[in-house]
Amino acid sequence: MGLLGCTALVGLGFGIGKVGAMGLFDQKKTSSKNEEEFAFTLSDAEWKTKLSPEAYHVMREAGTERSRTSPLNNEKRKGVFHCKGCDWELFSSEAKFDSGTGWPSFYEPINDKAIGTTVDRKLIYARTEEHCANCGSHLGHIFDDGPEPTGERHCINGIALEFKPSEA
């Protein structure tokens, strides 16, 4: 399958994400997240105690919650979305938008130290996976079909987030 195949995949509605079409066929090993890389760490047993089974599956096993199941998808108040695993600030409500996908979506993280990324090759095309930069918990994926000013859509599993409304 050549570049024409990539175009066909995009034409069928498969978003390539920030990795790009040529990343589809790049089979070399990419960076992976190791527990030693993060400031906040817990043992597997501690994560299982801290998180619900559903949150554990999404955050520690890179699962995905069902679309339209998170109450945070409809959250409209001003505030900050934190990592449910370690309370790290991830996204401002000001960057949240309705993507129509059924998952909370943001056009940018709260700052450049909030998230980390790896290449996810679990599907037929490469995607950019994002994780909490503090504890390594899986959050979701980044796609290049978001609104201005960044053009990014951070498609996040709501079960991985905790919303803290602004006091004012």
Residues tagged active-site: 155
Strands 153-156 and 105-106, how do they pair? antiparallel
Buried b (16+ CB within 10 A) or exposed e, 70-101: bebbebeeebbbbbbbbebbbbbbebbeebee
E strand spans, 10-136 = 79-83, 89-92, 96-97, 105-106, 115-120, 127-132
Q: What is the DSSP letter of 55?
A: H
Specify whether the CB–CB gap between 61 and 107 falls below 8 A: no
